[in-house]
């Protein structure tokens, strides 16, 4: 079996057999008089151009720019409504309800388990190692990923997707690249390894996307929400082998990129936009370093975890009291105590906003 076939045999059989919805915009190109999609010939109220027309399902200009940015070919890229939609598409494409499972490495991003729950897939957990700066428990991940399915009544099926978040949310550190690749190679033909790189732009290390060409069971998730400041626009990209992208195309909603979103994304990805994003990332990283250096001098702060992201996870004596002090001053952080005891996740904002963080914490 070829490497690509071994990936396709992981897809839900009913999705492989599915005839996807064929939209008017997919079926026809290059006309003069467009009377095929029951659109209104104009937009009565809004004067913005082209809002009366259905958008291109995967705008080629946007795909070309995203592929160039992420260092893949256009056939390896699918644009989605945020990378959250990419997570959902992967669940629905690969996991059979009541049969298949995902593997996560907590503490980690909460959407994986939610998407699995919606799809009716079980979630197996192999925790990151707290005593080793939240490192991957590589051998345990591989062993769990390879384990044969338990009987259906045990509620745990075969692992189809392994979600690795690097840098990890909420802990902030990168996973070891060699360890991640070891998992990818060990699970070749057995499971898809999804590396969520929502924060990799802040880390200074290169993406794993270049490894997709030689590892068709590797999927990488990227987003314009964080480094490009476009969380409100909802632009994520799933990077994968073209065969996987083609299957995800069958599952994705017909028009995931609204026309105003396309305009914003193209502006962000222009030469000017890329330069501005690089400058923004550099100043956020400089602020993160400044705040990370200042925090340990405050009595309330017991520990600052190393960060390769635009946030810091800190351990305090009493997270509930600290959160309340923040709220009283109108400063909102995220309590992550349920994931890591007495830990709070603090996003790096402007210098002024970060000073507010430091000021409030200095009084706790
Ligand atoms: C913010 C975040 C996302 C979601 O990004 P969107 O593109 O806005 O959907 C995905 N993964 C992680 C780890 C995140 O923190």
pLDDT in tens, 90-144: 999 999 999 999 999 999 999 999 999 999 999 999 999 999 999 999 999 999 9
| Residue carrying the six token digits 């975890």 | 305
Is residue 196 within 6 Å of ligand 1 at its C-beta?
yes
b/e sequence 4-17, b meaning 16+ C-beta within 10 Å: eeebbebbbeebee
Report d(CA 8, CA 201) in Å as an integer.
30
Region for 202 from its dihedrals, namely left if φ exceeds 0, alpha if ψ lies in -120 to 50, beta otherwise: alpha
Q: Residue 92 is inside which H or E element, if any?
A: helix 82-94
**Mean pLDDT of all residues in 335-346:** 97
Choose one of 82, 88, 90 to mutate for the ligand 1 pocket test, by most ligand atoms within 8 angstroms of C-beta. 82
b/e sequence 166-179, b meaning 16+ C-beta within 10 Å: bbbbbbbbbbeeeb
**Relative to the CA of 84, which ligand 1 atom is closest?**
9
| Tally of residues, the chain | 364
- Give the three-class secondary structure for 142: helix
Tens digit of each residue's pLDDT (9 = 90 or more) over 50-94: 799 999 999 999 999 999 999 999 999 999 999 999 999 999 999
Is residue 195 within 6 Å of ligand 1 at its C-beta?
no
pLDDT band at 154 (very low <50, low <70, confident <90, very high): low
Is residue 169 within 6 Å of ligand 1 at its C-beta?
yes
Q: Is a pLDDT exceeding 90 seen at residue 8?
A: yes
**Pairing, β 343-347 against β 334-335:** antiparallel
Q: Is a pLDDT exceeding 70 seen at residue 156?
A: no
| Residue carrying the six token digits 């392994």 | 162
Tens digit of each residue's pLDDT (9 = 90 or more) over 259-274: 999 999 999 999 999 9
Is residue 198 within 6 Å of ligand 1 at its C-beta?
yes
Is residue 227 within 6 Å of ligand 1 at its C-beta?
no
Cα atoms in the Cβ-side hemisphere of radius 13 Å centred on 38: 1
Is residue 228 within 6 Å of ligand 1 at its C-beta?
no
User: Could you please report the per-residue DSSP string of 287-354?
Assistant: HHHHHHHHGGGSTTEEEE---SSSEEEEEES-HHHHHHHHHHTT---EE-TTTSTTEEEEE---HHHH
Is residue 310 within 6 Å of ligand 1 at its C-beta?
no
What pTM, to 2 d.p., does this model score? 0.96
Choose one of 170, 223, 232 to mutate for the ligand 1 pocket test, by most ligand atoms within 8 angstroms of C-beta. 223
Q: Residue 196 is inside which H or E element, if any?
A: strand 192-196
Is residue 309 within 6 Å of ligand 1 at its C-beta?
no
């Amino acid at each position: 079996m070829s490497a690509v076939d071994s990936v396709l045999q992981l897809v839900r059989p009913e999705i492989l057999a599915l005839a996807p919805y064929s939209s008017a915009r997919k079926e026809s190109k290059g006309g003069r008089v467009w009377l095929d999609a029951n659109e209104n010939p104009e937009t009565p109220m809004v004067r913005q151009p082209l809002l009366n027309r259905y958008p291109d399902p995967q705008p080629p200009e946007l795909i070309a720019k995203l592929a160039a940015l992420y260092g893949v070919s256009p056939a390896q890229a699918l644009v989605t409504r945020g990378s959250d939609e990419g997570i959902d598409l992967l669940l629905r494409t690969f996991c059979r309800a009541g049969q298949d499972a995902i593997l996560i490495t907590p503490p980690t991003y909460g959407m994986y388990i939610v998407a699995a729950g919606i799809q009716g897939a079980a979630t197996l957990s192999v925790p990151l190692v707290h005593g080793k700066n939240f490192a991957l428990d590589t051998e345990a991940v591989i062993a769990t990923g390879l384990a044969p399915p338990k009987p259906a009544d045990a509620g745990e099926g075969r692992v189809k997707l392994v979600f690795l978040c690097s840098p990890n949310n909420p802990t902030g550190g990168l996973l070891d690249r060699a360890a991640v690749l070891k998992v990818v190679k060990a699970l070749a033909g057995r499971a898809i390894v999804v590396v969520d790189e929502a924060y990799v732009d802040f880390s200074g290390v290169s993406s794993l996307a270049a490894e997709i060409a030689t590892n068709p069971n590797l999927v990488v998730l990227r987003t314009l929400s964080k480094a490009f400041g476009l969380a409100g626009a909802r632009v994520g990209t799933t990077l994968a082998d073209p065969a996987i992208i083609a299957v995800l195309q069958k599952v994705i909603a017909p028009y995931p990129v609204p026309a105003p979103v396309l305009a914003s994304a193209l502006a962000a990805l222009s030469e000017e936009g890329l330069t501005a994003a690089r400058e923004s990332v550099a100043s956020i990283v400089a602020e993160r370093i400044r705040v990370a250096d200042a925090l340990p001098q405050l009595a309330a702060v017991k520990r600052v975890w190393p960060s390769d992201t635009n946030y810091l996870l800190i351990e305090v004596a009493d997270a509930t009291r600290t959160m309340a002090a923040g709220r009283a001053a109108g400063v909102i952080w995220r309590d992550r105590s349920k994931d890591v005891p007495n830990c709070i996740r603090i996003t790096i904002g402007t210098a002024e906003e970060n000073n507010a963080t430091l000021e409030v914490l200095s009084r706790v």
